[in-house]
Amino acid sequence: MSKVRDLDLSRNFLNGSIPASINEMETLSFLDLSSNCLSGTIPRNLQGLRKLVILDMSKNNLLGVVSISLCALPSLIFLKLSSNNLSGELSSVLQNCSRLFSIDLGENRFSGTIPDLVSAHLIDIAQNKLSGTIPKCLGNLKTFTYLGPYFDELPSTLHIEFREHVEIVSKA
């Protein structure tokens, strides 16, 4: 099993927890476990997945805090953990995510403020329990950014100059 590069187990009604032995799949570059009934926490020790580029664990029943080592995976550029019950301080979760291209953490229970994410092109943090203001660095991104409706109310005045391809969507 150590030679598997792509593993798509999405929409298979899988249940139970994600086994820690997934860390042994050293050649894995694509892992999609989305749209299942997986529960429990995301394994903390995933350093063996050094070639992982795309990780999608969205639309499950995962809970708990996301380990900061997840974003430290050297090849990871696409992270989708939306529609779970994940929690914790958003800035802690994204501490090592500076090189990710796409981050989707929407529809969880993350709290705190939005950290500076200067390299991400797509950011979805909608429907969490976030507070504070939108960081100025997000207005300097070169390409599209989607923040989603992440506040109960957006501040009435935003002091950020956004480039032309940046979009903030808020549901009233």
Q: What is the pLDDT along the chain (172 residues), one digit of tens a residue?
A: 569 999 999 999 999 999 999 999 999 999 999 999 999 999 988 889 999 999 999 999 999 999 888 888 999 999 999 999 999 998 888 877 878 889 999 999 999 988 776 567 788 888 888 887 777 766 666 555 556 554 544 444 444 555 555 555 554 4
Please give the pLDDT value at position 41.
96
Please give the pLDDT value at position 157.
42
Please give the pLDDT value at position 142.
58
3-state secondary structure the chain: CCCCCEEECCCCCCEECCCHHHHHCCCCCEEECCCCEEEECCCCCCCCCCCCCEEECCCCEEEEECCCCCCCCCCCCEEECCCCEEEEEHHHHCCCCCCCCEEECCCCEEEECCCCCCCCCEEECCCCEECCCCCHHHHHCCCCCECCCCCCCCCCCCCCCCCCCCECCCCC
Please give the pLDDT value at position 167.
57
pTM of the model: 0.84
Q: Give the CATH architecture of domain 6-140.
A: Alpha-Beta Horseshoe (3.80)
Please give the pLDDT value at position 59.
99
- Residue-range domain boundaries for the chain: 6-140
